[in-house]
């Protein structure tokens, strides 16, 4: 028996399979490339031959594409990223008080008290410090992203980089590079700038208590972890499955939903990868709201519809389960 | 004369009823939407707050439809920050619109006489008898109070309704129907009938829905477009929402202010935290938050638009109230970039937070 969790972000899509004991049994990582439905279909194609439909006991979705993909998959639980990340963090360690999550596109901070979220903040505007930004810098310096963190560790003295904003950080780095600074020192400087930037923006005014979990793709970067530790003065923990915590959270939440409702899963089966899904959108002109209404068709059948404020296009869609 | 006015929640319904009764020509701007914001943002100073821009959009869309007289609510309007209305007038003048402005302001600022003469100007355009004019005003006040009442109740009852979505449907339908009725007395009848309908919606009194209070900057509170229709979203999730700010609240506030009896309770509650006036309604924001805590709300959502100074002050005070009273308060900052997903994620996460907190309390109580 398995529980599936799907985290559909704008950059990447993760699928995890948890076994009966809730251990991570399998995981798939995909690039979303702005087409969440296709990403999901590619992912399930990979899983199709390994598992049977009836072995799935629950499935949950999270991430910015959670809504769209839930229609396709028949998700039992559709949850926001904050709740999903918190759920997974607490599952691995009940003592967690703070979660830093830095992914490809955005960053979050979550504060918890005895396993319950008490406060959170999200930054979707500033790109400095997100995974995509780091990828670009690594590429520019000609260093594989996996090595990025290790480089920072080699440095003894960080170069100070202005990290308040992605544009400044980038031009400042180029400038320091031209001045002939050592790459390692620049990278270390960048890591410190990004950690400071995160704490001053997303973490602004938050009471950051240990134990801190560092989740999301950027947690792979040991240089940033160290920079956090240096600034905060205590150890930061990177959980083993740091880069799929959202998906794990979604799977755990789906399990909880199915169990508390004592119902069967709505999972539509692995062969969704063979279906042809069509999404079309149109602008409703019936009132000044001019909603962008999106419809998802499985062949000829409409399986989902959203975007209408008044609910006139889909009476069901405006009754959500939070 | 063809008058127009900016949108502020349900006021257009009352204005329509009033002008219909007076027999004065008017143009109601299209309900605030992305286009209004785009136009407004394009013609307004960059660093000005969001409400300003949307209102400019409203004016321009109306002028294009033939309005030649713009009624602007003065410094007592959404904000007491200085030259709000003068600035709006100069923006429109600089664009070359030949329109007349009538600034309706709080009598303390311009004196009762001046206010009377400005209102007199509007009223002289009507050929109705004096008694008819008084009736028009009476109807307008009645309409706004009814409509605000219906909205406020529907948002609260949504937490208890048995057929999910019924309150929202009723509310939208009600607005739609009064708006399409040009006979003022029939319009009032419609409002009354919806008030009655609302009280008959089947509810489950035993349900204990999450209760959220909404506070913050007045325009963003009242004009749903400016807050991405947050209350509709909360209704969809079956949450009982309370918001004290509404056009009728403002009417009462401004009226009572002459006697210094405005928003007494909220202002008293705020006293401990905020002793001085910081402009706009920051004091009321803080006070309402304290009251919401005292009334047992699960959480508070604080709304403010980008570029709003007074509410930044209340934001920092709310942070300390949240800590002291142990009540979750989430601040949502609204800007021109309409990124729907980010708001939804925050609202959902906040609801989850409140739900889990409650469950936790129940467990420890057991
Ligand atoms: S879907 Fe409803 S709210 Fe949206 S534009 Fe059409 S009529 Fe208006
Ligand atoms: S209170 Fe804030 S948002 Fe409202 S008008 Fe004043 S500055 Fe603008």
Q: Which of B171, B5, B11, B2 is nearest to B104 (CA)?
A: B5
A312 in ligand 1 pocket by Cβ < 6 Å?
Answer: yes
Q: Which of B70, B247, B218 is nearest to B141 (CA)?
A: B247
Strands (E), chain B: 2-4, 25-26, 69-73, 100-104, 211-216, 240-243, 299-305, 329-334
Is the Cβ pair A118, B353 closer than 8 Å?
yes
What residue ranges of chain A have pLDDT lower than 70?
A: 124-129, 163-167, 315-322
Q: Give the number of other Cβ atoms within 10 Å of residue B273's Cβ.
A: 17
Chain A closest-CA separation from residue B133 CA (Å): 31
A308 in ligand 1 pocket by Cβ < 6 Å?
Answer: yes
Q: Which among A122, A310, A318 is the nearest to B345, CB-wise?
A: A122
List CB contacts (< 8 A) between A287 and chain B.
Answer: 31
Could you say which ligand is closest to the alpha carbon of residue A312?
Answer: 1
Alpha carbon distance A215, A85 (integer Å): 8
CA nearest to B158 within chain A: A319
**Interface residue of B353, B354, B357, B358 to substitute, partner A, most A CBs within 10 Å:** B353
Establish whether the linkage from the previous residue to A66 is cis, with ω within 30° of 0.
Answer: no
Looking at residue A255, what is its pLDDT? 94
Q: Is residue A213 a contact partner of residue A237, using CB atoms and an 8 Å limit?
A: yes
> A118 to each of A70, A234, B346, how far by Cα in Å?
27, 22, 13
B78 in ligand 2 pocket by Cβ < 6 Å?
Answer: yes
Q: Which among B31, B342, B356 is the nearest to A116, CB-wise?
A: B356
B81 in ligand 2 pocket by Cβ < 6 Å?
Answer: yes
The CATH number assigned to the domain with range A1-93+239-269 reads 3.30.420.40
- Could you give the dihedral angle defined by the CA atoms of residues A136, A137, A142 and A144, in that order, rounded to the nearest 10 degrees? -70
Looking at residue A320, what is its pLDDT? 43
Q: Which of B239, B224, B244, B221 is nearest to B292 (CA)?
A: B244
Q: Which of A308, A307, A311, A303 is nearest to A75 (CA)?
A: A303
B49 in ligand 2 pocket by Cβ < 6 Å?
Answer: yes
Alpha carbon distance B358, B79 (integer Å): 37
DSSP secondary structure code for residue A54 in this structure: G
> Tokens 């798939």 sit at which residue?
A28
**DSSP result, A285-301:** -SSTT--EEEEEEETTE
Residue whose CA is closest, atom 7 of ligand 1?
Answer: A286
Could you say which ligand is closest to the alpha carbon of residue B176?
Answer: 1
CA nearest to A121 within chain B: B346
CA A283 to ligand 1 centroid distance, Å: 9
* Percentage above 70 pLDDT, chain B: 84
Q: Which of B181, B235, B191, B185 is nearest to B351 (CA)?
A: B235
Alpha carbon distance A64, A10 (integer Å): 7
List CB contacts (< 8 A) between A310 and chain B.
Answer: 172
Q: Which of residues 153-192 of B touch A (CB under 8 A)?
A: 164-165, 168-169, 172
**Stretch (H or E) spanning A12:** strand A12-18
Looking at residue B363, what is its pLDDT? 45
The CATH number assigned to the domain with range A95-238 reads 3.30.420.40
Provide the CB-side half-sphere exposure for A279 (13 A, CA). Answer: 16
Chain A closest-CA separation from residue B164 CA (Å): 7
Alpha carbon distance B209, B161 (integer Å): 10
Q: Which among B165, B172, B355 is the nearest to A319, CB-wise?
A: B165
Q: Which of A25, A14, A18, A24 is nearest to A4 (CA)?
A: A18
Q: Which of B248, B255, B215 is nearest to B76 (CA)?
A: B255
> Which atom of ligand 1 lies nearest, measured to the CA of A283?
5
> Tokens 């999301």 sit at which residue?
A216
Q: What is the pLDDT of residues B242-262, one digit of tens each?
A: 998 888 887 777 666 655 656
Is the Cβ pair B353, A122 closer than 8 Å?
no
A284 in ligand 1 pocket by Cβ < 6 Å?
Answer: yes
Residue whose CA is closest, atom 3 of ligand 2?
Answer: B308
Q: Coil, strand or helix: which one is A9? A: coil
Beta bridge partners of B215: B302
Q: Which of B213, B212, B221 is nearest to B304 (CA)?
A: B221
| Tokens of residue B247, six digits | 């056009």
| pTM for the predicted model, two decimal places | 0.86
How would you label B24-46 residue by residue, b for 16+ Cβ within 10 Å and e otherwise?
bebbbbbbbbeebbebbbebbee
Alpha carbon distance A69, A39 (integer Å): 10
Backbone phi, psi, residue B84, to 5°: -50, -55
Alpha carbon distance B220, A44 (integer Å): 43
Digitized pLDDT (tens) for each residue of chain B, 366 residues in all = 899 999 989 989 998 998 898 888 999 999 998 899 999 999 988 888 888 899 999 999 999 999 999 887 765 445 555 567 788 888 998 998 888 888 876 665 666 666 667 777 777 777 777 788 888 888 888 999 999 999 999 999 999 999 988 999 999 999 999 999 989 999 999 999 999 999 999 999 888 999 999 998 888 999 999 999 999 999 999 999 999 888 888 777 766 665 565 666 677 777 777 666 655 577 788 888 889 999 999 999 999 888 787 788 888 888 888 888 889 999 888 887 656 677 888 899 999 989 888 876 544 433
DSSP secondary structure code for residue A206 in this structure: -
Alpha carbon distance B55, B73 (integer Å): 11
Alpha carbon distance A250, A15 (integer Å): 10
Alpha carbon distance A254, A54 (integer Å): 16
Backbone phi, psi, residue B200, to 5°: -100, 0
Q: Which of residues 310-329 of B touch A (CB under 8 A)?
A: 319, 328
Looking at residue B148, what is its pLDDT? 92
Counting ligand 1 atoms within 8 A of each CB, the residue from A281, A289, A306, A311 with the most, and so the one to mutate, is A289
Q: Which among B30, B236, B339 is the nearest to A320, CB-wise?
A: B236
Chain A closest-CA separation from residue B340 CA (Å): 10
| Tokens of residue A296, six digits | 């998802």
DSSP secondary structure code for residue B223 in this structure: -
Could you say which ligand is closest to the alpha carbon of residue A288?
Answer: 1
Could you say which ligand is closest to the alpha carbon of residue B311?
Answer: 2
Q: Which of B245, B303, B238, B295 is nearest to B269 (CA)?
A: B295
Q: Which among B165, B319, B345 is the nearest to A82, CB-wise?
A: B345
CA B252 to ligand 2 centroid distance, Å: 20
| Tokens of residue A229, six digits | 């530790």
Q: What is the pLDDT of residues A155-185, one digit of tens each?
A: 777 778 776 666 677 777 788 777 777 878 8
């Amino acid at each position: 028996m398995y529980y599936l969790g799907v985290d559909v972000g704008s950059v990447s899509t993760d699928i995890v399979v948890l076994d009966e004991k809730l251990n991570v049994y399998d995981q798939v990582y995909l690039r979303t490339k702005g087409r969440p439905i296709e990403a999901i279909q590619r992912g399930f194609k990979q899983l199709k031959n390994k598992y049977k439909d009836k072995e799935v006991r629950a499935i949950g979705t999270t991430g910015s594409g959670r809504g769209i993909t839930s229609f396709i998959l028949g998700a039992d639980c559709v949850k926001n990223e904050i709740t999903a990340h918190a759920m997974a963090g607490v599952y691995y360690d009940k003592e967690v008080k703070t979660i830093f999550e830095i992914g490809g596109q955005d960053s979050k901070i979550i504060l918890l008290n005895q396993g319950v979220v008490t406060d959170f903040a999200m930054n979707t505007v500033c790109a400095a410090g997100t995974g995509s930004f780091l990828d670009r810098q690594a590429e520019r310096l000609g260093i594989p992203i996996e090595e990025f963190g290790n480089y920072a560790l080699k440095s003894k003295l960080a170069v100070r980089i202005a990290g308040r904003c992605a544009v400044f950080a980038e031009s400042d780095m180029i400038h320091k590079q031209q001045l002939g600074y050592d790459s390692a020192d620049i990278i270390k400087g960048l890591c410190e700038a990004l950690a400071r930037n995160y704490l001053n923006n997303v973490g602004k005014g938050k009471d950051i208590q240990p134990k801190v979990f560092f989740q999301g793709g950027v947690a792979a970067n040991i240089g940033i972890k160290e920079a956090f530790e240096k600034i905060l003065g205590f150890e930061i923990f990177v959980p083993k499955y740091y880069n799929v915590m959202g998906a794990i959270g979604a799977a755990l939440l789906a399990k909880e939903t199915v169990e508390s409702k004592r119902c069967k899963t709505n999972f539509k089966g692995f062969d969704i990868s063979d279906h042809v899904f069509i999404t079309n959108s149109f602008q409703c002109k019936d009132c000044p709201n001019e909603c962008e209404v999106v419809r998802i068709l499985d062949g000829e059948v409409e399986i989902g519809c959203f975007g209408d404020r008044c609910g006139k296009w889909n009476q069901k869609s405006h009754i959500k389960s939070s | 004369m063809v008058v127009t006015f900016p949108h502020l929640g349900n006021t257009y319904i009352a204005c329509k009823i009033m002008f219909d009764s007076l027999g004065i020509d008017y143009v109601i701007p299209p309900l605030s939407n992305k286009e209004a914001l785009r136009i407004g943002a394009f013609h307004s100073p960059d660093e000005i707050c969001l409400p300003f821009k949307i209102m400019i959009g409203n004016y321009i869309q109306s002028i294009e439809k033939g309005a030649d007289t713009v009624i602007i609510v003065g410094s007592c309007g959404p904000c007491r920050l200085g030259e709000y209305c003068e600035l709006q007038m100069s923006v429109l003048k600089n664009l070359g619109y030949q329109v007349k402005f009538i600034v309706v302001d709080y009598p303390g600022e311009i004196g009762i006489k001046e206010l009377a003469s400005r209102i007199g100007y509007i009223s002289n355009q009507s050929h109705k008898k004096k008694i008819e004019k008084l009736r028009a005003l009476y109807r307008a006040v009645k309409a706004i109070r009814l409509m605000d009442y219906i909205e406020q109740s529907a948002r609260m009852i949504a937490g208890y309704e048995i057929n999910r979505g019924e309150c929202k449907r009723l509310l939208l339908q009600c607005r739609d129907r009064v708006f399409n009725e040009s006979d003022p007395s029939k319009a009032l009848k419609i409002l009354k009938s919806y008030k009655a309908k609302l009280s008959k919606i089947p509810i489950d009194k035993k349900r204990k829905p999450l209760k959220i209070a909404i506070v913050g900057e007045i325009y963003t509170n009242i004009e749903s477009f400016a807050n991405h229709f947050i209350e509709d979203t909360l209704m969809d999730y079956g949450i009982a929402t309370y918001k004290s700010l509404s056009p009728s609240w403002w009417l009462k506030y401004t009226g009572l202010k002459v006697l210094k009896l405005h928003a007494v309770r909220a202002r008293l509650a705020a006293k401990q935290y905020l002793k001085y006036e910081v402009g706009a309604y920051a004091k009321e924001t803080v006070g309402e938050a304290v009251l919401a805590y005292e009334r047992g709300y699960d959480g508070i959502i604080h709304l403010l638009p980008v570029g709003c100074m007074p509410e930044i002050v209340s934001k920092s005070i709310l942070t300390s109230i949240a800590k002291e009273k142990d009540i979750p308060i989430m601040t949502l900052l609204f800007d021109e970039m309409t990124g729907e997903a980010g708001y939804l994620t925050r609202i959902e996460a906040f609801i989850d937070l409140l739900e889990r907190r409650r469950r936790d309390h129940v467990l420890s109580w057991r």
